[in-house]
Structure 1
Amino acid sequence: MENLRKGFPVLEQYTYLNTAASGLLPESVWEFRQNHDLDFLLGGSVFKEKQADILTETRELVGEFFNCVPSQVALVPNFSYGFNTLLEGLDKPQKALLLKNDYPSLNWAMESRNFEISYAEIDQNLEKNIAEAFENQQPDFFAFSIVQYINGIKIDLDFIKKLKQKYPETLFFADGTQFCGTEEFNFEESGLDVLICSTYKWLNAGYGNAFMLFKKEVEGKIAPKALGFGSLQGKYKAHQGNFIEKFEPGHQDTLNYGSLAEALKLMKKIGIGEISSTIESLSVTAKSEFKKMNLLEESVIKRKTHSSIFNIKGGEKLFQYLKSKNIIISQRGEGIRVSFHYFNTEKELDFLIKELKKFGV
């Protein structure tokens, strides 16, 4: 377990239970970033000639990690940029289904446009609520977060796959920002048409990088309008005006996309199986302990499976108390959000529980 913590200096100072807000920067990524800018400092345009190789490697690593052909991977600066570009490529008006109180960057982007929107409730019956909304509304597309940012409720991806089979003409757009990097995921075999993920959280890739995965079939249904002369063609953008290029106008940031490549190399070295089992073990134990202490909402308690994000009951005083103990968490919704990644330990969970009890929770 201690080997999983190497390369994260933050863990020497804090009990860091806040990946749902911001992942940590691994030393290997930091070293890449320093070398990248040193090469640019010393090489100028000579370094620029290597940019296509950096972007190609990143695209291939994303495709390998999530089982998506590299030519269907777009590199974008953040979820919001990618999602808004996607929405601008859709004909309007269309009927859309969202989850009520889903992540603001997702719902706000939808609500600011001329779509006919309906909502499904996020509770212990999430999948049932979605199925009923599909029957009643017959949406043209469904946009949702795989894992909810406030309380960690995770949608059943097998349910999504079956729902897509039942409604093949509906487009399924997913935000994977609170999901990607926590368990193995096969995009090609999923029910998703598009997945978008900012990678500064669970992939520990730093800020300014994200990716989009596309099924080939969506190209005739989405018509993005962005173009730019400076966009490098590269190995997977063989002709001007191709689909992926419209999500990557202009020069690409090789510092940040190269950081994503280095972060994926680290996770690949550890192994997604090891990462997933560690996270799952912590999640199961944490849920059991928080349930005993009556800290969880009923909708989370009644779900069979859950992510490693929890919203526990508590206000400003508890939040400040935990901070005083160098436990890094976030205030979200009506409680305090804690989240566990592969570099966290049961010892840290025990410390959190001990301090909660000391406070009188």
Structure 2
Amino acid sequence: MRVDWNQIRANYQLPNEKVFFETPYFGAMSDATVEKQMDCIKSLQTQGNTLYAETIEKSEDIREKILEVTNAKHHHAALIGDVSTAMVHLADRLSDKKIVLLDQDFPSVTAPWVGRKCNIEWIAREGYNYPLDKIEEQLKRGAEVLVLSWVMYNSGLIFDLKVIGDMCKKYGAIFIVDGTQGLGPHELDLSEVYIDVFLATCYKWLLAGYGTGVAIARQHFEEKYPFEVAGHCSIVDGKEDVKDVDNYVSGVRRFELGHVKTQQVFALHQSLHELLEIGFENIQTRTKELHACLVDELSRIDIELITPTPMSSNILMIEGSEARVKALRAANVAFTHRHGLIRLGIYFYNNEKDIERLIQALK
């Protein structure tokens, strides 16, 4: 079935208000997702908490759908508010192990381990890349946990999770991935890729707004390293008796500590179902096509790409001179400027006209 991308684009205000290349910072929420969240707030204001049962149902549907999207057959899923908090739980559980982190990775990935004063080995960035042989060398030396971002926020570099996962499996290391900048634009098959824990916030490429995220863990990892964090939502069916630990949820579901987040659950449920209706395969194909078009157009006007290979299909980096930044802002282009670089994110709701307007501003 042919996808009408113009009709889909009409459901998102940001790409129609700006030349919007800022999804790596914050994804455009659809009109329906915002309306669903506002309806929740209005219901809470006028009727009180009558949405609890529906929130529980939608939460379970999200868990099931995210496992389907990632083809996770021997895993469990949980809802999280952000990656940092989930990573803190992991750092607490694995604090006695030797950890490998990437220098200049996103702080949500690195800070929890540093703050926990773990034994850390850092992989230095060479240019904008991280040689896989340096990662393997640390694993050979007995590193027990490797933690990294799937797509690097500050370069657009994408890691081959299959290759790195196989390395971790070979050397018996735990593999933890922050997939925030990859989940949605890129296919992920967890039945084929060895990852122990996969985390992602959903306010970027899953377009659900702040306070939404997912965690996926392999059952084998959950059994070997049971989590001991617990809260109100850890008790099965919300029963009041807290003394029987056998009545607690297990595994990654322990990350769901407090009260259910009604507005966030409704928003994520809506956005996820909209993306499923479009089809993630269609989304990924469209994103790749637009990315290729953008790369070609930048090359045509002799703008050098900073993004190394392997290159993600959703994030590009170019030099961010003062004049270039000023020109883009004057042309109503939404982008991220940090570390002297311009980051451009492209997604299915962009179009060729966006690219034309961007290129015109860069000339």
Shift of 1:245: 3.8
After superposition, the C-alpha distances for 1:274-297 in whole angstroms (9 at most, x for unaligned) are 110111112223234434524223
Q: CA RMSD in A?
A: 2.3
Q: Give the alignment's TM-score, normalised by structure 1.
A: 0.89
After superposition, the C-alpha distances for 1:290-321 in whole angstroms (9 at most, x for unaligned) are 34524223x61xx2543321111123332232
Which aligned pairs between 1:138-287 and structure 2 lie closer than 5 A? 138-167=142-171, 169-231=172-234, 233=236, 239-287=247-295
After superposition, the C-alpha distances for 1:138-170 in whole angstroms (9 at most, x for unaligned) are 210000000000110000123123213322x21
1:343 paired to 2:349: yes
Identity of aligned residues (%): 24
Runs of 5+ consecutive residues of structure 2 not aligned to the other structure: 239-244
Shift of 1:187: 2.0
Q: How far apart, CA to CA, are the structure 2 residues paired with 1:311 and 1:156? A: 19
Shift of 1:241: 4.6
Cross-structure match for 2:241 = none
Q: 1:131 aligns with which of 117, 120, 136?
A: 136
Shift of 1:70: 9.6
Q: How far apart, CA to CA, are the structure 1 residues paired with 2:193 and 2:237? A: 28
Q: How far apart, CA to CA, are the structure 2 residues paired with 1:199 and 1:246? A: 19
After superposition, the C-alpha distances for 1:19-38 in whole angstroms (9 at most, x for unaligned) are 01100111121121123233
Shift of 1:230: 4.6
Which aligned pairs between 1:32-181 and structure 2 lie closer than 5 A? 32-68=36-72, 72-92=76-96, 94-122=97-125, 123-124=128-129, 126-135=131-140, 137-167=141-171, 169-181=172-184
**Matched AA of 2:325:** F
State which drifts further: 172-181 or 257-266: 257-266
Indicate the SS of the match to 2:316: strand
**Matched AA of 1:329:** F
After superposition, the C-alpha distances for 1:200-221 in whole angstroms (9 at most, x for unaligned) are 0000011001110000011234
Q: Per the alignment, do residues 313 and 31 of structure 1 end up closer, same or farther by CA in structure 2, a change over 3 Å counting?
A: same
Shift of 1:190: 1.3
Which aligned pairs between 1:291-302 and structure 2 lie closer than 5 A? 291=299, 293-297=302-306, 300=308
Q: How far apart, CA to CA, are the structure 1 residues paired with 2:75 and 2:194? A: 19
Indicate the SS of the match to 1:49: helix
State which drifts further: 140-149 or 257-266: 257-266
Q: Give the alignment's TM-score, normalised by structure 2.
A: 0.89
Runs of 5+ consecutive residues of structure 1 not aligned to the other structure: none
Indicate the SS of the match to 2:51: helix
Q: 2:11 aligns with which of 7, 12, 35?
A: 7
